[in-house]
A and B are shown apart, each in its own frame.
Chain A
Amino acid sequence: MSALVFIETSEGKAKKSSLEALCYAKALGGNVTAIVLGPADAASLQDLGKFGASKVLHAADSKLEKGVIQVYASVITKAMTDENAEVLVLANSSLATPVAAKVAIKTGASFASNVVELPDTTSGFKVKRSIYTGKAFCWQELKNAKKVIAIKKNAAEVIEIGGNATVTPYSVTLADADFNTTILSSEKATGDVLLPEAEIVVSGGRGMKGPEHWNMLEELAKTLGAATGCSKPVSDMNWRPHHEHVGQTGVKVAPQLYIAVGISGAIQHLAGVNSSKCIVVINKDPEAPFFKAADYGIVGDAFDVVPKLTAAIKAAL
């Protein structure tokens, strides 16, 4: 089945989660076209061939620099028709998920988000989705000929297959009516590893006793190439920004390794981390419920254990 993949960029380069979507699309077995909207790095566009795209459509119009959802949805809908794509694949994100939903309506496609595995096509086309905030899964049949699939971050592997892509400029006519929201400004953490995409996450809770102690966790995160997160009380007390809050009502992460320091492990926090491959819990309270959900646990004082752990990792890597 021929697939179109929407590639999101950050500072001109394809996001890791978008490469995951691209590799997922390639694994579906058909021809894969990638689409990139707004200014992008030429080498990064060319590189998409290595991850499975045979063609890259680049709509470089500067009006596409800011991700206005309705505008993106219209452009991608048109590209699906132009390319005769049966399926649109993209990564779940604050931009791509609503775009996907709108494209599904405009093209009459079956839609699924938070997809975690390749489809089962033995009878029909069934996808596995993460539901109940990571506490369960469901298999859902996508019945229509056209499908829109949003992949949960870190659920698909990025595999370099070393192909070549033809990069083609894609000219678009943008309707004024689609600019129905105006993005006035944005603040984004730059240079750091993005929490939702991170392979390793180091999170701190109330046990850190105050924002002034976060440099200890940042040092550990830096050593591991990890992103930093926190529990809800920590962001509620403004020790850390809200976009770092991991949990039921915050960011849901799915890293290879999640290290929780001074977090007791309320069920609402666990809902944000239950897709992690390996969980390490460091807490001075041996009764902390988080230990039950952990793979490895250390009962000890964060202020003693964390610097030692950072040093041990530096020595080992």
Chain B
Amino acid sequence: MKILVCISHVPDTTSKINFTDNSTKFDTAGVQFIIGPYDDYALARAIELKEANPGTTVTVLNVGQADTEPTIRKALAIGADDAIRVNAEPTDSFFVASQIAEHAKGYDLILMGRESIDYNSGVVHAMVGDLLGLPSVSPVMKLDVEGTKVKMTREIEGGKEQVEANLPLVAGCQEPIAEWKIPNMRGIMSAKTKPLKVVDAVSVTTSVALSKFELPAPKGAVKMIAADAVADLVAKLKNEAKVL
């Protein structure tokens, strides 16, 4: 089985978000970049499938500029065999999906996170599926391959459903599909020499354009209420915050 895992290179979940250049650029100062947490689940499941099925290979793909390579190397250290970097700024979902679709032909299983944690659109898997004419399922909490069939548990609002589809398939993953893997020293050493192919992006006509960023209005200071004055809280929720 050939597995492709698509990873995003995103600010660590604890990052403070700021913008520069008159609110038109993301401020990378002091920001640590990581493999998207949902993509990390997809990668962990791919490695599990590789370990359980001899002959399975795992390729990681990232759409990004040269600064994403440490993130790609980390995915190789976790256990992927080789990597592809599409040398381009990931501008929007359709652009990224088009790049993935270009390289995903021939893979049996195309995994990624349910969404990237920067733009949160949560549609790249659906778009890749559409572009390649393959089924796509997300968010997947459990995924097992049985011959050419894939059995999945998908989360829905207020519950879950059991879904089945044939390979090849695109899936957007989330917890608890697998436990995140931490690279060990041997993995880190071998990652340095694993193949990382850099390719040019295919040309895509984008239909969206970012005009500016905005931060939420700052929150006022918390109002503390004594533990024995809950009636006071109820009155404030009703009359001051007007949420009851």
Contact = CB atoms under 8 A, between A and B. Distances in A.
A61 B120 CA distance: 33
Contact of B155 (A131, A242, A294, A299): A242
Contacts of A248: 13, 37, 117
A140 interface: yes
Interface in B109-136: 117-123, 125-127, 129-131, 134-136
Contact of A189 (B154, B159, B162): B159
B37 A181 contact: no
Contacts of A291: 222, 224
A154 interface: no
A94 B208 contact: no
Interface residues of B, number: 75
A249 B14 CA distance: 13
A236 B235 CA distance: 35
Contact of A139 (B38, B138, B158, B210): B210
The interface residues of chain B, by DSSP majority, are classed as mixed
A212 interface: no
A133 interface: yes
A70 B13 contact: no
B227 A304 contact: yes
Contacts of B129: 70, 102
A16 to B, nearest CB: 11
B163 A298 contact: no
B17 A181 contact: no
Nearest to A301: B227
Contacts, number: 247
Nearest to B40: A249
Nearest to B235: A316
Interface stretch (B53-61, B71-79, B195-203, B212-220): B212-220
A102 B227 contact: no
Interface string A65-93: 00001100100000000000000000011
In which size bucket is the chain A interface? 35 or more
Contacts of A133: 13, 117, 120
Given A95-B156, A186-B159, A113 B227 contact: no
Interface string B1-18: 000000000010110010
Given A132-B118, A138-B213, A192-B158, A309 B233 contact: yes
A278 B243 contact: yes
Contact of A187 (B13, B135, B161, B222): B161
Contacts of B11: 132
Given A93-B157, A97-B122, A200-B243, 12 more contacts: A105-B127, A111-B121, A114-B120, A126-B211, A141-B209, A181-B164, A183-B163, A187-B159, A195-B158, A242-B176, A243-B155, A277-B241
Interface of B: 11, 13-14, 17, 19, 37-38, 93-94, 117-123, 125-127, 129-131, 134-139, 141, 154-166, 174-176, 207-216, 219-220, 222-228, 230-231, 233-238, 241, 243-244
